[in-house]
Structure formats: C-alpha cells, structure tokens
Chains A and B, each alone.
Chain A
C-alpha cells in the first residue's frame, strides 16, 4: 500500500465528482450553498443575480451530487487513509483488489446518487410514483448486490449497468433528447456555443 494506491483510488472514486463540482457548481455561490445544505430554502431559491430562479432540475442535480459525495466520502475515506499506512492487502485470504474495488464502487455510488436525485425530484414534481418506486428499488438492489462481495465481478458489472441505465433515464428526464445529444457531440449546439461565448 503506497502513495500510488492512495492517489489512484482517491482519484478513481472522487475524480468525476470533483470534476462535476468544479465545472458546474464551484462558480455559482448559490449552488455551493445548495450542496452544503442539501435543499434550498425559499429565500435562497429566489435569488440569483444572473439567471432566473434556480430550476428544480438544478436543485435536483446539486442535491443528488451533494448526497452522492457525502455518501461516497463517508464510505471510502477511512479505507483511503488506511491505504497510506503500512500493511499488506489480503494477507488473510481476502482479495488483494480490496482498494480498487472499493474505489470503483464508491465512484458508481456517487454517480448513481446524482442520477437518482434527478429522477426522484422529477418524479415528485410530476407525481410519477412509479419513478420514485423504481429509484428506491434500484437503490436497495445496488446495496443488496454489495452483500455478495468479494465476488467483485458480478457486483461491479451489474452496478455499472444499472448506473448506465439510470444515467440514460436521468438524461431524458432532465430534458435531453437524442437530437440535443447529437448536436452536443458534433459541436453544433448553437445555444451552448453562444452561452460559452457570452460567459467569456
């Protein structure tokens, strides 16, 4: 267990979340507050100097990210600090991939929380109770899958599949469409380009 393991696992687990934070939240003080508090108060919601009131989707995204980060951090940070210290992994017959598996699991949990947050908020708003139920059940399913560790293969692969499905669902719930995705990938999205120009 070395610094390499420490940094590697840390970035695997928290890299995407940190990137999401830096690129989408850190620049907006209001969103940072949402992240810390978890839900916005009415007063904070109505204040935003540059744009219209933060939309429900933004709130869903930020609170999903907040919950995800907290959950990931609480689950993984003690393991991470142990990885710096002396020791041998798996000396008693456990899998030597302990840290790596924990890191990937943490990553997928964080991303899942973001997607679940978006879907859940949307379900609450549109009163789609089936969405809420599915979110709840998939969460339970993912947690139950972790019970079968150390069979990492099934555990991780199925959880990642669930994450991809949730991600696609959240994308469509948040208003994306195949067309907008195509525009984005081909850099033809005029609104996005204009927005970037403006903010410079």
Chain B
C-alpha cells in the first residue's frame, strides 16, 4: 500500500491467506489516515500460514490541498495493488508549484512533473526492502538445505507431482492451483463479508494470532535449521530467550509502537519467512502456475467493477474509514511544516525528524489498534493543521514482497542452482516494479502490483534457465567473453 500523505486514507493491502487462515485485516476505525494494521491469524497446522499479499495501495490526497482524488484502496484477497505515486502533495519548497488539476490555467505538465519527481524516490524506497527480502530468501535457500528438501505438501495442494507422465503432472499442478486460488478467493470474500458486517474484533484477533504464529513458531523452526546447517549448538534456555525476545519485540513493533526501522526489518523478516514456507511446501510446477494465476487474480480483483477488492474499497470509502489494516511495509518521508506536535493517532511508530526538507522517515503502518482513535486524531484540530504535516511515503503490501521472494527463491532453488537465473529474475521483478509505479503515475488509478513483475519474472526465469544458462555455462568454462 502506498500512501503519501497522512491525510490520505490508507489503503491497506490485504491478502487472503493462501494456506489456511487468511489474514485478516482489522479495520482501523477512525483515523482518517487510516492506518490499518494487519496481523496474521495463526493457523492450526504448522504448515499453514497466513499469507498476506499486499499490494501497492494508493492513497488519496485530501481535497483541500490537492485536487487529486483520494481513493482508498482496500486490498483484500490476494494482491490488490493499488498504488499511487502521486502523493506529491505538499512539498513546502514547491508549495507554490502545487497544482490542482482542477485549477484552470495551470499547466498540467507541472503536476505530472511533480508526480514523477517523487515517483523516482518512491521507486527507490521500494527497491531497497524488496531487494533485502529477496537477498534473505536467496541466501537461506542457497545455504540451508531444509528449505529445498521435499517434505510433504500443504493441504491446499493435495495433488502430488510425483507422477509417471508429464501430462499427469501438468494436470495435477493445474488442479493444485485451482484449489489454492479458490481458497484465496473464498478467504477474500469472507473478509469482505466480515468487513461489511463490521466484525472488527474478530478480524483483529485473527490477525494477532497469525502474527504470533509467524513470529514465534516459524522463527523457531528457521533458527533451528540455520543452527543445524552451521553445526552450532545452542542450549534450550538460550534458544528460548532468543526466540522470546525476537517474537515479543516483533509483536510490539508490528502491532503497537516501535522504531520505524525495526518495524520495517520485522516486516521484511516475516515476508521472508512466509516466502520460505511457500518455497518449501509448494511443489515445483504448482508454484509456477500459482504465481501466474495469482497475478491474473490480482489483475481481475483490482480492476473489475465487481471484484472483491473494489467492493472493499468502496465500502471503506462509504464509511470513510481506513481500510483493513494489513501487513504493510511502509517507508514514508514525513515532512512537517512548522508543526510542533504530531497527531497521536498517526503516531504509531512515526518518527519525527522533520525538517522542512524531505527526510526519509518511515512511518509505521502499525498504528495498531488504537481504539480511542476514531475521529480525526487531534480532537478539535482543524483540518488545516493536519494538512501541514505531510508524509510522503510508500507502503507496499507484504503479499507483494512474499510473492516476489517466492519467485526469486524458486529460481534459486531449482535444480541447476544457477545464479544467472536468480539474478535475471531479480532484475525482472525490479523492472516490473518500476514500470508499475510509472503506470500508476500515468493512469492515476489503482493498479495491481503483481502482474507486471511476476510476468516479467516468469518470462525471464524460463528463458534464462533454458536458453541463456547453457550458453553462458559454455562461455564461462572456456573463458570466452561476449
């Protein structure tokens, strides 16, 4: 989810869980900024993980300052990527350059220029966490054997791929994909229904259980496997202390307050853990078909008028509420103009650097459930005050992180273990992300984040693995350079 300004309603990305429980976003009533918090719901089985696919969300700018439309995107279900780079709302330096599109006589190019101006910075602010997540996943895949061993499958992919014939294997993978996607669609619709009937507490509790499981159980397993790989002994008390501290601080950072950098680090680690689970438990061909199907679903869910995501957005807009809290990675440049105080509602883990220049401070998505924050954060504070604090930032849903990492991790995990393929997929995803952001700036409406990146990733993976790899292998072994 991306929203630039605090005034914007936050679109939270939400993705229904793939495995079992879905991720529920607990809608955050109140705060116009709509920080939504999303927590995972723990699933019963250890294999099931709630995965949040997030999408890039866009936020709207409030009318007074900017004529750009604010739109809340709710990402529900898989990946709704709505992203808006136009948050170039207030830039004090360029305050007078701000143009409302509705203002006659103002050159439209200026507005677009400003949009693109911040678009570049936003793109980089997304590149870094996505790259970090992928690095963690690839490093783990390449060193810890556990995640490339085949130890059963999830119940969402019941058909085995150990079949005698290629046709049978293809059929099984397609069936697995159908089951997985229908689970996702069902969870999405379930979430929409829950949201429509205002079962906020239920959703919230579900999310907390999910993140508990992720932060404690999966971390424990991961740590165990890493220690086994490097043959390092650790006694149980130390292990308990480590996992407890990690998990507790994570819960606090994610659901309550914490330093922004720490929160971002936790989100990246959670996404990496989820991606590793998927890489381990999804059979090969199913994984690729699922990736393709998820992109298509994302496209449909975001752009079709009757898509669940769209309905969520509309509902949230009607209620003038922030959308579901989702696990959203946020990196915001917060910028205040002479405002000494910050609204507590938008606090969360908001850092306050705040010189009039743009500083990259990261806004935490986690305005955790502040039940008291219902109305505009500062009671009695005029709208104008709020507008003076600007935050330009980018929020990307964790589901996007997870699926990008699954693609790159699967590329790294496959038989040949070729680095060229991995790097090609990595570059493909970054290119897709860049193009998505550009398209968003051009079209000025919500767009899904997954399709372009995943399409490029899949194309690059198959072509590099089958065409480029044998060629480069021969060249490298003979030390020929082209």
Residues of A within 8 A of B (CB): 29-30, 32-33, 36-37, 41, 43-44, 46-49, 70-71, 73-79, 81, 98, 101-102, 105-106, 109, 142-143, 146-147, 149-150
Q: Which of A47, A147, A150 contacts B116 (CB 8 A)?
A: A47
B118 to chain A, nearest CB (A): 9
A-B contact pairs, 10 of them (CB 8 A): A32-B124, A33-B120, A33-B124, A44-B120, A47-B113, A49-B117, A74-B468, A74-B472, A102-B476, A147-B480
| Contact A150–B120 (Cβ < 8 Å) | no
Q: Mark contacts of B463-482 with chain A using CB atoms, 8 A cut-off: 1 yes-contact digit, 0 otherwise.
A: 00000100011011011111
B233 to chain A, nearest CB (A): 23
What is the count of residue pairs linking A and B with beta-carbon distances less than 8 angstroms?
A: 80
| Contact A105–B476 (Cβ < 8 Å) | no
Residue B69 interfacial (CB < 8 Å): no
| Contact A76–B431 (Cβ < 8 Å) | no
| Contact B430–A36 (Cβ < 8 Å) | yes
Interface 9-mer from B75-83, B181-189, B418-426, B447-455: B418-426
B154 to chain A, nearest CB (A): 31
Q: How many positions in chain B have a CB within 8 Å of any CB in the partner chain?
A: 31
CA of A81 to CA of B475, assembled, Å: 16
- The residue in chain B whose Cβ has the minimal distance to the Cβ of A31 is B120
A111 to chain B, nearest CB (A): 13
A68 to chain B, nearest CB (A): 12
| Contact A33–B434 (Cβ < 8 Å) | yes
A157 to chain B, nearest CB (A): 15
| Contact A36–B434 (Cβ < 8 Å) | yes
Given contacts A29-B123, A30-B120, A41-B438, contact A77 B419 (CB under 8 A): yes
| Contact B120–A47 (Cβ < 8 Å) | yes
Dominant SS among interface residues on chain A: helix
| Contact A29–B121 (Cβ < 8 Å) | yes
Residue B112 interfacial (CB < 8 Å): yes
A91 to chain B, nearest CB (A): 14
For B473, what are the chain A residues with a Cβ–Cβ distance below 8 Å? Answer: 78
CA of A142 to CA of B434, assembled, Å: 34
For B146, what are the chain A residues with a Cβ–Cβ distance below 8 Å? Answer: none
Q: Which of B112, B124, B419 contacts A43 (CB 8 A)?
A: B112
B252 to chain A, nearest CB (A): 32
Residues of B within 8 A of A (CB): 112-113, 116-117, 119-121, 123-124, 127, 418-420, 423, 427, 430-431, 434, 438, 441-442, 468, 472-473, 475-476, 478-482
Q: Which of A36, A71, A79, A81 contacts B431 (CB 8 A)?
A: A36
For A146, what are the chain B residues with a Cβ–Cβ distance below 8 Å? Answer: 479-481
A73 to chain B, nearest CB (A): 6
CA of A71 to CA of B423, assembled, Å: 12
CA of A76 to CA of B420, assembled, Å: 9
B459 to chain A, nearest CB (A): 16
For B476, what are the chain A residues with a Cβ–Cβ distance below 8 Å? Answer: 75-76, 78-79, 102
| Contact A73–B423 (Cβ < 8 Å) | yes
- The residue in chain A whose Cβ has the minimal distance to the Cβ of B121 is A29
Given contacts A36-B431, A74-B472, A78-B473, 20 further A-B contacts (CB under 8 A): A29-B120, A33-B120, A33-B434, A36-B427, A44-B438, A47-B113, A47-B116, A47-B117, A70-B427, A74-B420, A76-B476, A78-B418, A78-B419, A81-B419, A98-B479, A105-B479, A109-B481, A142-B481, A143-B480, A149-B480
- The residue in chain B whose Cβ has the minimal distance to the Cβ of A140 is B482
CA of A78 to CA of B473, assembled, Å: 8
B10 to chain A, nearest CB (A): 23
| Contact B123–A33 (Cβ < 8 Å) | yes
- The residue in chain A whose Cβ has the minimal distance to the Cβ of B125 is A29
For A37, what are the chain B residues with a Cβ–Cβ distance below 8 Å? Answer: 431, 434
For A41, what are the chain B residues with a Cβ–Cβ distance below 8 Å? Answer: 438
